[in-house]
Amino acid sequence: MCSLSFVLCWLMAAVAHAAEPQQVRIGAAHFPPYTQRPERGRDEGLLQRLADALNGAQQRYHFVLVPTSIPRRFADLQSGRTDLAIFENPAWGWDAVPHHAVDMGLEDAELFVARRAPQRTQAYFDSLAGKRLALFSGYHYAFAQFNADRHYLMQTFDASLTYSHESNLYMVERGRADIALVTRSYLSDFLDRHPASAQALLVSERIDQVYRHYAVLRPQAPISAQAFAALLAQPRASGELQRIFGPYRIAVKPVPGA
């Protein structure tokens, strides 16, 4: 009887353990509007909303955010501290990292922003020579051949590097920098929240880069690239991706072969 009870208890425990969702850890590096200070607790950015949508669509996996940083994110992926890096692009230096990639079908862009001034037109953005730039530290820019090294950017482009798009835009407004490079997604939200800045700033028609977002999975991740792609297809089909990303002018695009 005791032996039978032990077997039954073991089976019940095994079933309960099998029913628990598999935890998948997503690296969360501060970069609004995608992630906003994840180290302070629950993130209120778009990454958290995406994780919530993925968790709500199924019960096999549970996605959690693990704070990291832009320079450290791929080291964390390789060490196994995280399983996924999301909102990445091949031009940003992860091609040499062992990984599986999933096209998320999301597109954003990087724009030049200057202060409005008499006689200043779009021609102001034709050349960056002699202009002081305000950049997001650790980010890869097309105009700099995707070289994110701080010293290179500071010496070559007279760049100030911060961890805040908002600070960079204010530097431009106050004349402390001539041009800021800002994601279309952040700029759209910023100008909606600060109508006065919309009148003070000149946004370029020139685009530094249009980039497609990918999810980068470590080879030993608890979810496969195929399973993640299939899971991501659910909020895409339901329109949830459009509801999350559309208001920020992040384009939800078809995924080839999906």
Instruction: Please tell me the distance from the alpha carbon of residue 196 to that of residue 201, in angstroms, as a whole number.
Output: 9
Instruction: Please tell me the distance from the alpha carbon of residue 70 to that of residue 91, in angstroms, as a whole number.
Output: 14
Q: What angle do CA 83, 88, 89 make, to 5 degrees?
A: 135
For the entire predicted model, the pTM comes to 0.85
Say yes or no: do domains 21-107+212-252 and 108-210 share a fold. Answer: yes
pLDDT score at 5: 54
Architecture of domain 21-107+212-252 in CATH?
3-Layer(aba) Sandwich (3.40)
Instruction: Give the pLDDT confidence of 14-69 residue by residue, as tens digits.
Output: 444 456 899 999 999 988 899 987 766 666 799 999 999 999 999 999 999 999 99
Q: What angle do CA 104, 45, 43 make, to 5 degrees?
A: 120
- The full length of the chain comes to 258
Instruction: Give the pLDDT confidence of 171-195 residue by residue, as tens digits.
Output: 999 999 999 999 999 999 999 999 9
Q: 114 near 125, Cβ under 8 Å?
A: yes
Domain ranges of the chain: 21-107+212-252, 108-210
Q: 70 near 34, Cβ under 8 Å?
A: no
Which residues lie below 8 Å from residue 137, measured CB to CB, with a gap of 6+?
A: 70, 150, 161, 162, 163
Instruction: Give the pLDDT confidence of 120-158 residue by residue, as tens digits.
Output: 999 999 999 999 999 999 999 999 999 999 999 999 999
Number of Cβ within 10 Å of residue 238's Cβ equals: 12
Instruction: Give the pLDDT confidence of 59-70 residue by residue, as tens digits.
Output: 999 999 999 998
Calculate the average pLDDT of the chain: 90
Which of 3.40.50.720, 3.40.50.11270, 3.90.1150.10, 3.40.190.10 would CATH assign to domain 108-210? 3.40.190.10
β-pair partners for 113: 180, 203
Confidence class of residue 3 from pLDDT cuts 50, 70 and 90? low
